[in-house]
Amino acid sequence: MIDWIELIPPVDYNKLDVTSKEHPIFIFKHSTSCPLSKVALLRLEDAFESAPINKFYFLDLLRYRDESNHIAEKYHVHHESPQLIVIDHGECVLDLSHLDIEPSEILEYLRFS
């Protein structure tokens, strides 16, 4: 199972950006009331159950919508739910939403990064 790091305001974006210089980080924006978001979450957890990679951050959209808006603004992405954003060296390098959140996309990115 993924060892999620929950993003709880106030989020230290400088720390996230510094961490992303060591290796890519993953921010999963999840709506607990959305069945599609639950499917995306389960896909990620199933795929990375035995081989956790890098840092996976979790943002509960229903509790922290303002924080989600801040992430969208900071990393220049359109707000989606569910959404997986990959940050590398302080920049968004991959933005997946809805059924496009596929573990194969993440693994492909990591293979070529």
Which residues fall within 8 angstroms of residue 29, CB to CB, at 6 or more apart? 59, 61, 68, 71, 79, 80, 81, 82, 83, 84, 85
83, β-bridge pairs: 29, 97
pLDDT computed for residue 32 by the predictor: 92
pLDDT computed for residue 51 by the predictor: 58
pLDDT (tens digit per residue) in 66-113: 999 999 999 999 999 999 999 999 999 999 999 899 888 888 877 776
Mean pLDDT of all residues in 45-58 = 78
Nearest to 48 by CA among 110, 112, 107: 107
pLDDT computed for residue 57 by the predictor: 96
Question: So where are the chain's domains?
Answer: 5-112
pLDDT computed for residue 52 by the predictor: 56
- Assign a CATH topology to domain 5-112: Glutaredoxin (3.40.30)
In the numeric block, the tokens 């957890």 are attached to 45
pTM: 0.91
DSSP result, 43-97: HHHHHTSSS--SEEEEEETTT-HHHHHHHHHHTT----SSEEEEEETTEEEEEEE
Nearest to 59 by CA among 88, 39, 37: 37
